[in-house]
Chains A and B, each alone.
Chain A
Amino acid sequence: MAEKNPFSVNRQFDVRKHGLALLITFIIFSIGILIGTALSEERLGFTRDAIELQQIEYESLQMQLLYLTGQEEKNCNALLGSLERNIYDLENSRIKLENYMAGSEEGDFNLIKRDYMLTEIRYWLLAREAQNVCPSDIANILFFYEVDESCLDCSAQGHILTYLKDIFGDKLLIFSLDVNFDEPMIQILKENYGITEFPSLVVEKKVFPGLTKKEALINELCFSYGSAAFPVCST
């Protein structure tokens, strides 16, 4: 290249340098996207493993219940304990799944989410059945939510339920269903309980449409437990 006069005005457009800059930018982006894809794969695997484990746990519980149904002397404690623990784990995994879905391509997760939704319903049915075989004071809450941004209160309701779970511990079972999810069973439940607005709760058999505050829920639950069961109920 000829020596440039440093005082003349250079009106060249350096195609080579711009090309290189573009290439490097693309490489940076490719690395980022690769990381994103790998992360997505890992998360898929993780949530899939978690739900597979839950399904095996479910089968085990179902078997326990079947066995107990025919027994004269029933020892229900083991069954109720692991039922509660599994439902709690399932809820935690579901929350993780929702978070992952918020941050990536939803398509890949849809099949897994369907598994989660079905498992939630399965456990709910199992819990109802268990109530017949092993009567207890455990309460069930069915939580209908939307992932859509327009449902501001869905997340607030989720927080309230977490708060209640913290108070009532293993005496409370929470089952969450995404109403917008394309699963016929969810639609059947929705119609059955006449759910039209979201969030909505079904506590035992009573429907609470819209955002239900923690005070109202504590009242309702205390009523079903009997007033002396928890410190929060006597105040």
Chain B
Amino acid sequence: MIDLAIWVMYFISTYFAVFWLLVILENKIKDETPGKLPKSLPLVTIALPIWNEEKSLVATLKSVLALDYPRKKLHIILVDDHSTDSTPNVIKEFLRTHAAALKNISIQSLRHTVNKGKGSALNTALKHAKGELFICLDADSFVKPNTLKIMIPYFSHKNVASVLPLMKLRTVKRFVLHLQYVEYLVNFFLKKVMSMLDCIHVTPGPFAAYRTSILRKVGGFATDNLTEDLEMALRLQKHNYKIIQLMNARVTTLAPTTMKAWFQQRNRWYKGTLMNLYLYKKMFFAKKYGEFGLFQLPMVLGAATVSIFFALFVIWQHMLRPFLLHVYDMSFISFNMRLVSEQWVSRLHFLDANYMILFFSLVLFGFGLGWIIYAFKYTEERVTASGVTSSALFMVIYPFFLSMVWWSVVLDLARGKKQRW
């Protein structure tokens, strides 16, 4: 029974992998040819929802000031969602010291009197937004100067609601960051492929550009949602708006640097994913949403299921349990490793290896490696020694970490843990 479940999951995973591979092979993975950069550049509102970001805020703001864009066409809104650290002073100090650089830029600094959450902060900004375009920028992310001008032309078509840049990690200096480095590359490459099928289900915070009018039309950001960026993408898809993922527009972001922070972030993301999938359950298998409803959403849920059961079945059944049993057996013979290894070697025969399992493992490994190679290629990331280390970590350890996060989500939901959303 357990084995059957593993085979079914394996079959489904292989099917997903093969399908995406076909999509890649059939289409050229490159950014769509944009429209022309309009002669009169649109006014752009850049909204920064801020909550206790004293450390990274200045660098983020500096990256905004360094944007290659006419000053008069920029409108910056800072929304301090009632920070409890020195963030308000950091903002004041920044406005004072950078007065010259801020000249001609319309900048508003707002502060919530109580902490309301990121969705509310974005809505506060949206209420005051004057720009034709509305760009979210998390205060832990940094935009490259040319990004905005690369993104603008894609809005030439009225149906385009959102344009997303490629997001990479700013530094890769710790184990936790190594773990995420390849993940970001692979995920954004995958998002590019999804974009080509109109299947994007999340518009992440760092420098996601929206058409202001569409944002207002669909009712602004969800305020009681764990992952308002995911909810927004689902809502835009529901209204059949276009979301475009770009590869050549770039932002960098600070990822969690401790295991605990990483775990908490993922717990929130994945919980948000499950809850929003539930909210939009009607889109599942809805033929009118094409690939998005019939394939993408079930795949997201399927991936979650695989991740959850991967932990339960594979880790326990094929790793932990045999190991524990072996330790148990060995305890009766004083852990005589010499004897056991000699026995093993003397009995060794070429038929002992299970070639079928070996074959299926190799196929899975091949798909994983293929994804990583493609991701490096299309995100124009140089392959370095540390990149190879990250890739190995990503393939070997990451799935276990991921299942642990999913399990924490399942357990939280099962015991009805209070969650702000």
Contacts and interface: CB of A to CB of B under 8 A. Distances in A.
Nearest to B35: A7
A12 to B, nearest CB: 5
Which of A11, A17, A213 has the most C-beta atoms of chain B within 10 angstroms of its own C-beta?
A11
Interface residues of B, number: 50
Contact of A152 (B18, B291, B328, B356): B328
A227 interface: no
Contacts of A17: 19, 22-23, 26
Nearest to A93: B347
B303 to A, nearest CB: 16
Contacts of A20: 22
Contact of A21 (B22, B156, B333, B351): B22
A125 interface: no
A160 interface: yes
Given A39-B354, A213-B332, A13 B287 contact: yes
A89 B294 CA distance: 58
Contact of A11 (B18, B288, B329, B330): B288
B382 interface: no
A42 B291 contact: no
A13 B23 CA distance: 13
Contacts of A5: 157
A163 B33 CA distance: 72
A7 B289 contact: no
Interface string B237-264: 0001110000000000000000000000
Interface in B309-352: 325, 328-333, 336, 339-340, 343, 346-347, 349, 351-352
B356 A11 contact: no
A9 B351 contact: no
B278 interface: no
Interface string B141-174: 0000000000000101101100000000000000
Contacts of A213: 332
A155 B329 contact: yes
B379 to A, nearest CB: 21
A230 interface: no
Given A21-B18, A92-B347, A12 B242 contact: no
Interface in A7-35: 7-14, 17-18, 20-22, 24-25, 28-29, 31-33, 35
Contacts of A43: 351
Interface string A93-115: 00110011001000000000000
A157 to B, nearest CB: 8
B365 interface: no
Given A21-B22, A36-B356, A159-B333, A42 B295 contact: no
A160 B19 CA distance: 51
- 6 smallest CB-CB distances across A and B, nearest first, come from A11-B290, A36-B356, A7-B157, A21-B19, A163-B333, A159-B329
Interface of B: 11, 14-15, 18-19, 22-23, 26, 32-33, 154, 156-157, 159-160, 197-198, 240-242, 287-292, 294-295, 325, 328-333, 336, 339-340, 343, 346-347, 349, 351-352, 354-356, 359-360, 363
